[in-house]
Amino acid sequence: MRQLIPVFFAIMSLFSAFSTRAAHANPVPQDQLVLQATPASVPTSTPEATVSTQTGPPLSLTLILLGMCCVFVLVIGVVVLGFIARNPKKKEEDNSR
């Protein structure tokens, strides 16, 4: 698996080199550029004046963020506990040999 990592990076660098050369190989001549002009004034409807009473982020987004943080803490905790629980077993096996 470790032998494939440098090969993967080499292939990706070759693809990126060829893709940047292909993008600059045939630039569009300046006389063929099409410029679209926008009118000086764009007609828009006037928005009605609304009063916003919200002073903070929506409650749903806050709860979602809190839930996602709890999930990440649980996942990281399980990984850390897995390493902690596995290490004493390895030390006991090494001592018994």
Give pLDDT tens digits for 60-75.
999 999 999 999 999 9
Whether the predicted model's global pTM rises above the 0.95 cut = no
What pLDDT is attached to residue 55?
85
In a domain, 86, yes or no: yes
In a domain, 32, yes or no: no
Amino acid identity of 66? L
- Number of domains into which the chain is organized: 1
In a domain, 78, yes or no: yes
The residue with greater pLDDT, 79 or 2, is 79
Is 39 in a helix, a strand, or coil?
coil
Residue 40: both structure tokens together: 């000086």
Domain that holds residue 97: 58-97
In a domain, 69, yes or no: yes
In a domain, 92, yes or no: yes
In a domain, 48, yes or no: no
